[in-house]
Amino acid sequence: MSPASLPDKPALEGLEAKWGEIWEQQGIYRFDRDAALKAGKAQVYAIDTPPPTASGSLHIGHVFSYTHMDLAARYQRMRGRHLFYPMGWDDNGLPTERRVQNYYGVRCDPALPYDADFTPPFEGGDTKASKAADQIPISRRNFIELCERLTVEDEKQFEDLWRTLGLSVDWTQTYRTIGEPAQRAAQRAFLRNLARGEAYRADAPTLWDVTFRTAVAQAELEDKEMPGAFHRVSFHLPGGAGTIEIETTRPELIPACVALVAHPDDERYQPYVGTTVMTPLFGVEVPVVAHRLAQQDKGSGIAMVCTFGDVTDVVWWRELDLPLRPILGKDGRILAEPPQGIEGAAAETYAELAGKTVFSAKARIVELLAESGDLQGEPRAISHPVKFFEKGDKPLEIVTTRQWYIANGARDEQLAERLLERGREVAFHPDHMRVRYENWVGGLSGDWLISRQRFFGVPIPVWYRLDADGEQTGEPIVPTEDQLPVDPSSMPAPGFEEAQRGQPNGFIGEVDIMDTWATSSLTPQIAGKWEEDAELFDLVFPYDLRSQGQDIIRTWLFSTVLRAELEHGTVPWKHAGISGFIVDPDRKKMSKSKGNVVTPAAMLDDHGSDAVRYWAASSRLGTDAAFDPQNPKQMKIGRRLAIKVLNAAKFVRSFEAPAGVSSVDDLGATAITEPLDRDMLATLAEVVRLATAALDEYDHARALDVAEQFFWTFTDDYLELVKERAYGAQGVEGQASAVAALHLAMDVFVRLFAPVLPFATEEVWSWTHDGSVHVAPWPTVDDVSSESPTGLLPLVSQALIGIRRAKTDAKVSQKTPVTHVTLAAPMLLAEAAGDLKAVGRIDVLDIVDGTSLEITAIELGEAPERA
């Protein structure tokens, strides 16, 4: 682009559309692979970009953290690095399925055949309040096609918003977590995990969401405070020798009881450990055992172990080698068949519970306990934390299912230590966020459950042989890597025909899909085309930066470190930038569930992208930011700064070269001779040093603060002080010094602000430069001045402020001339007396040597007549 003439009235409006289109046309942000290869890996800066859930809606927190990531990207690009900055869409998983159900009014029934002519009952409808029974059942293939269709449309809207925000990603490097390359990467990694023994299938107690009918991993849990009640229930000692009383919030699980457990140091129950008791109502003999997790001060001090009421039951069951007596089905209802040991009259009692929900079963069993005399007193109301699936609205249950797992260090101390070591190799910003990662690794209670009983996702790539009786047998059948991606639910197993599916001596395909994190944990491999483009992968991996929110350290960050360690034996990236939360004026975290989220589109429309980016850049990584939509102060300040950059740049660049100089561009650093100008540039050099050091440490807020503070001094004081000289009021040499200093300083400020205010700075840069400011070199100290600041500019600024204040106190116009002023100040001030006299409208200026600045006398002339 050729340098443009100065606009009559620069404005922020319309800059996003204007420059977004130009950047795309010119490929400003595209990864230049050939240049990167020539420069070498050390000159590449690769970012592992968070792929947002395309079926969701972007909220203010996304804008906050993605802006933080973009600040680092833009800075590194200006530092001469070749940016590999892709964008991904996390389009598979439960959120997408729920959105498709609500949007089209359908639900998936895998038993139904594919309908090539199917038309959904709604197109863009809102059926969130509808029940599953009201939604039209369709085949799995039809359902997946609708998921594909809707995610593509959602992704377009997301991309538009990201472009408006000014994210400098390379849109030619976009990927989808449901796309074929992503499926190949996820399935390839799984097969390698399986071959190394890191992936396995097992029957085990599984956290289960009864609404979504799917298993839930530890990382997806959320505790919610719920009302409950302690019920004091009697268990009977043999031969009528008395009772032991327990307190439980889940009396409906008494049929699933397998033991009573007390702490080994609890003297009250030591005589009973090793004996047995009989369960109330059902008369099942269960042992009394000891375990360190029993809480002596909770309830009666002895607890009922059921299979399964909570995760502690699972620990007791596993470590004490207790029997299995499950009574809950995957639908959250009591199973029809009673567990082993419940017979005769007890079986008839159990039949009263069969088929009931947990809530109804609890109500009935409390009635039965009261009738039998085994309920002691009235239930005692409490409030206690209950585990939920983070996207669910009913408490989780624990059922026994066969699921796929990947080792994560919970049962392997050596792997856990390696993961902790990898965490120490990553530079966390801020550093204290590393503790969250380490706490998560240390607190894992089981391997990573990766299988999900859903439909839209990456299929688990295995089949199972059937024996002559049609039962599963032997090891799973797996594809070769060159056959990926595969869908075992619709493709025959290698060596079999489709007609053999489900037949004796045939096969069945795995119908479960991978947890969405099992794909998202491979974003560095997917974006870098692992095993598909070795040259690219070697160039970008390990990446330089992972930027993300603090709430997904336990999920995305940890799982990515795990997969990189298992597959590559290294960290996936060198730096992890962790953004804080957005909180409302009451300091409550903003979230969709709380209903206090502000939509990004409205923010961008109301304030402009540069203003929104300024707001995000004002907060350090790891620090929560308060946002009040009724009074968005920071965005207003950011908008004011962006406008000031436009206006100040136009004013500075309106000064013409002095007589005898053909162009301002011909004025070099040698033209800057005046002490005030040199002092300003020396101070600016220190600002550049501080801002650069801050950005090297991923402290964008500090970099913005030091640049902004001096920019306002530059515009409010320095510019006012030297403008008369820049117009030629003090001769050619003084004019040349002022004009050269102003132009140099403005170029530096524009580059300092470019990462934060990309649209305003690009507009300004285009007036006098070819090319984009965003690929211009980042300013250095040597670009400005190597001299140390003398303190002259602050002195002159203080004097000017004092003179302005005197005029204000006298209630006269600032244009009122000063006939005489005496300043007690360091004599250094005399070097800029001419500039101060010009801007202060001073006839006589006396400077008395002193250590600090003070106006000792001032005489004002007559105020000019008002027009």
- Over residues 812-851, the pLDDT tens digits come to 888 889 999 998 888 888 888 888 888 888 888 888 888 8
Separation CA 341–CA 345 (nearest Å)? 12
- Between 753 and 490, name the one with better pLDDT: 753
Confidence class for position 594, pLDDT limits 50, 70, 90: low
- The pLDDT tens digits for 616-638 are 999 999 998 888 877 889 999 99
- The pLDDT tens digits for 365-406 are 999 999 999 999 999 998 888 888 877 778 888 888 888 999
| Helix or strand holding residue 703 (H, E) | helix 700-713
Query: Does the pLDDT value for residue 572 go beyond 50?
Result: yes
Average the pLDDT over 545-570 and give the result: 95
Contact 728, 660 (CB under 8 A): no
Contact 293, 320 (CB under 8 A): no
**What sign has the CA pseudo-torsion 794, 795, 800, 806?**
positive
Query: Does the pLDDT value for residue 4 go beyond 60?
Result: no
Contact 717, 800 (CB under 8 A): yes
The pLDDT score that the predictor gives to residue 823 is 87
Separation CA 444–CA 764 (nearest Å)? 53
Other residues' Cβ atoms within 10 Å of the Cβ of residue 804: 14
Contact 128, 81 (CB under 8 A): no
Tell me how far CA of residue 33 lies from CA of 50, 76, 527, 671, in angstroms: 22, 16, 14, 41
The pLDDT score that the predictor gives to residue 336 is 94
pTM of this structure: 0.83
Question: How buried is 348 (Cβ within 10 angstroms: 0-12 exposed, 13-18 middle, 19+ buried)?
Answer: exposed
Other residues' Cβ atoms within 10 Å of the Cβ of residue 562: 23
Contact 90, 56 (CB under 8 A): no
Separation CA 694–CA 701 (nearest Å)? 8
The pLDDT score that the predictor gives to residue 387 is 86
DSSP string of 148-207?
A: HHHHHHHHHHHHHHHHHHT----GGG-EETTSHHHHHHHHHHHHHHHHTT-EEEEEEEEE
Confidence class for position 3, pLDDT limits 50, 70, 90: very low
Query: Does the pLDDT value for residue 555 go beyond 90?
Result: no
The pLDDT score that the predictor gives to residue 866 is 43
The strand pairing partners of 234, in sequence order, are 245
CA atoms within 13 A on the CB side of 465: 11
Average the pLDDT over 496-523 and give the result: 94
The pLDDT score that the predictor gives to residue 786 is 67
Q: At what angle do helices 633-652 and 719-726 cross, to 10 degrees?
A: 20
Query: Does the pLDDT value for residue 705 go beyond 80?
Result: yes
Separation CA 790–CA 801 (nearest Å)? 19
Provide the terminal-to-terminal Cα distance of the chain, rounded to the nearest Å: 44
Mean pLDDT for the chain?
90
Phi, psi of 315 (to 5 degrees): -60, -45
Tell me how far CA of residue 165 lies from CA of 607, 699, 734, 745, in angstroms: 11, 20, 42, 27
Question: How buried is 43 (Cβ within 10 angstroms: 0-12 exposed, 13-18 middle, 19+ buried)?
Answer: middle
**What sign has the CA pseudo-torsion 98, 99, 104, 108?**
negative
Query: Does the pLDDT value for residue 596 go beyond 60?
Result: no
Buried b (16+ CB within 10 A) or exposed e, 757-795: bbbbbbbbbbbbbeebbbebebbeeebbbeeebbebbeb
Q: Is the peptide bond before 485 cis (omega within 30 degrees of 0)?
A: yes
| Helix or strand holding residue 477 (H, E) | strand 472-477
DSSP 384: E
Separation CA 647–CA 8 (nearest Å)? 10
The pLDDT score that the predictor gives to residue 668 is 74
Kind of pairing between the strands at 507-509 and 136-138: unpaired
Average the pLDDT over 579-608 and give the result: 75
Average the pLDDT over 278-296 and give the result: 94
The pLDDT score that the predictor gives to residue 625 is 86
Question: 167-181, 479-493, 698-712, 808-822 — which is least confidently predicted?
Answer: 808-822
Determine the number of helices (DSSP H) and then strands (DSSP E) in the chain: 26, 30
Contact 64, 579 (CB under 8 A): yes
Query: Does the pLDDT value for residue 857 go beyond 80?
Result: yes
Contact 823, 798 (CB under 8 A): no
Other residues' Cβ atoms within 10 Å of the Cβ of residue 155: 19
Average the pLDDT over 755-772 and give the result: 96
Query: Over pLDDT 90: what percentage of the chain?
Result: 61
Longest dimension (CA), the chain: 117
Separation CA 578–CA 68 (nearest Å)? 9
- The pLDDT tens digits for 422-432 are 999 999 999 99
Question: How buried is 499 (Cβ within 10 angstroms: 0-12 exposed, 13-18 middle, 19+ buried)?
Answer: exposed
Q: Is the peptide bond before 122 cis (omega within 30 degrees of 0)?
A: no
Phi, psi of 81 (to 5 degrees): -80, 150
Query: Over pLDDT 70: what percentage of the chain?
Result: 95
The strand pairing partners of 328, in sequence order, are 334
Q: Of 90-99, 511-520, 654-663, where does the model show the most confidence?
A: 511-520
Question: How buried is 752 (Cβ within 10 angstroms: 0-12 exposed, 13-18 middle, 19+ buried)?
Answer: buried
- Convert 22-77 into a string of H (helix), E (strand) and C (coil): HHHHHCCCCCCHHHHHHHCHHHEEEEECCCCECCCCCCHHHHHHHHHHHHHHHHHH
- Between 755 and 218, name the one with better pLDDT: 755
Separation CA 525–CA 529 (nearest Å)? 6
- Between 123 and 195, name the one with better pLDDT: 195
The pLDDT score that the predictor gives to residue 867 is 36
Q: What is the dihedral of CA 35, 37, 42, 45, to 10 degrees?
A: 60
Question: Token pair for residue 10?
Answer: 């620069």
Question: Token pair for residue 124?
Answer: 């863009």
The pLDDT score that the predictor gives to residue 825 is 85
| Local structure of 117: helix, strand or coil | coil
Question: How buried is 37 (Cβ within 10 angstroms: 0-12 exposed, 13-18 middle, 19+ buried)?
Answer: middle
